Amino acid sequence: MLPLAATAQLDLLEPERAFEFSARAMDDRTLEARFAIAKGYYLYRDKLKFSVEPVALAGSPRLPPGKLKVDEFFGEVETYRGTVVVRLPLANAAPGRAVVLHAESQGCADVGVCYPPQAQKITLGLPARAGPPGELIEAAPVRKSWFN
Specify the CATH number for the domain of residue 30: 2.60.40.1250
Q: Is residue 7 part of a domain?
A: no
Higher pLDDT, 132 or 50: 50
Q: How many DSSP H helices and E strands does the chain contain? A: 2, 13
State the Cα–Cα distance between residues 63 and 33, nearest whole angstrom: 10
What does the CA dihedral 130, 135, 136, 138 come to, rounded to 10 degrees?
A: -130
Higher pLDDT, 113 or 132: 113
**Length, in residues, of the chain:** 148
Count up the domains in the chain and report the number: 1
pLDDT for res 148: 41
Give CA angle at 137 (135, 143), nearest 5°.
160
Higher pLDDT, 8 or 145: 8
66 has a pLDDT exceeding 90: yes
Please give the order of strands across the beta sheet that includes 67-71.
Answer: 67-71, 75-80, 41-44, 107-109
Summarize the confidence of residues 25-52 as an average pLDDT.
96
* 130 — pLDDT class (breaks 50, 70, 90): low
Residue-range definition of the domain harbouring residue 64? 18-128
